[in-house]
Amino acid sequence: MKKIVFLLLAMTLGLWSMTASELVKKMEKGTTSNNSVEAQLKMLLINSNGDTLERTMQLKTLDKGGESKALIEFLSPADVKGTKLLTYVHADKANEQWLYLPALKRVKRIVGSGQSGSFMGSEFTYEDFGKQGSDVYRYEELLQESTIDGVEYYLATRYPNSSDSAYSKQIIYVDKAQNLVRRVDYYDTKERHLKTATMHDYTSQNGSYRVGRIEMKNLQSGKATHILWLGEQSNAKLTDADFHKRVLER
């Protein structure tokens, strides 16, 4: 009898608790829009002594359902000004990325494990700027729950599908109130805790949430990178033409 009661209780809890699939759908509904965005970003590179270097970038993105395109252009410092990164995120195949190096006037394709390398010396990888959708990761269906500083979170564990990923797994912290990702713990290929990203200053625009600041801390090197969104413009009326490979050389 005790066993039956326990089983019924477990089944009831299972019916009422959220699964990872449901959580991912809610997260994507809250943060994805069929929209184009143009923003200026400031990137702060902070070494283990606290010394800070600043880079500024222009970001353009275009989301179209499961596919998206992004163009990042460096505006400073002078020696990397004009460097551009174009990313195509596909629903049915691997991401495509091209890097334009103005000093050489060459467009260089980034492939495979090149995408797991550091993005311009930061604690972000090219992969971090790629697609973050549900088809890129395999999720553990069972969610954990945790309360940190009075805020309740779902904790979802996800594993990259790509064998070229720099990560063995990621644990994402989603606040229960708004279904927004507030933190991501990244684990390296040896399953050691490598980095933690925290997301701040979300703003709601046209029914979609946009992050205002991401702080990425490398726990192994002590270095950190902060990305701040400055003057973001939603519905920037960007089209596919703004993300054609021609824009790299212009």
Partner 1 sequence: MDASVGSFYQRMLLANAHVAPYSADVRAHLQAKHTNEAQDFLLHLDADALYDDQDTNRRYVYLNEAKAVWQTDDATISVGNIIGAWGKMDIYSPIDTLNARNLLKDPLANDKLGATALQYRHYLDNGEWEVTVKFLETMQSLPYTASPYYFLDPKVCFGDLESHLVLWRPTLFARYSTTVEMGESSFDHTFILANGFDAIRGVIDGGQNDDFYDLTPLLFYSTKAMYAIAVPLEAWILKSEMALAYSEDSRVSHYGQLALAAEYATQTPWGQSLLYLSEYHRFVRWESTKLSALQLMQFFQNDWVIGVRMGLNDAYNSALMAAIIVDMEGQGSATQLSFNSKLIDSVSYSLRWLHLVPRDATHSTALPASSFDAMVGSFLDAIGAHDSITVGLTYHF
* Residues of the shown chain interacting with partner 1 in the complex, contacts defined by CB under 8 A: 45, 47, 53, 77-81, 93-94, 96, 104-107, 109-114, 116-118, 120-122, 164, 166, 221, 223, 241, 244, 246, 250
**Closest CA relative to residue 203, chosen from 233, 227, 174:** 233
Cβ proximity to partner 1, 24 vs 184, nearer residue = 184
CB of 47 to partner 1, least distance (A): 7
Give whichever of 129 and 209 is closer to partner 1, judged by the CB atom: 129
CB of 96 vs partner 1, minimal distance in Å: 7
Nearer to partner 1, 67 or 96 (CB): 96
Nearer to partner 1, 53 or 148 (CB): 53
In 142-190, beta strands by DSSP E: 144-148, 151-160, 167-175, 181-188
Smaller CB separation from partner 1, 45 or 180: 45
* Count of CB atoms situated within 10 Å of the CB of 225: 25
Task: Report phi then psi at 205, rounded to 5.
Answer: -135, 120
As measured in angstroms, the least distance from the Cβ of 41 to partner 1 is 16
DSSP state, 83? -
| Beta carbon of residue 183, minimum distance to partner 1 (angstroms, whole number) | 22
E-assigned strand segments in the chain: 36-46, 52-64, 67-76, 84-89, 96-101, 106-110, 137-139, 144-148, 151-160, 167-175, 181-188, 193-200, 203-205, 208-210, 213-218, 224-234
Least distance to partner 1, CB of residue 86, Å: 13
- 3-class DSSP assignment, residue 208: strand
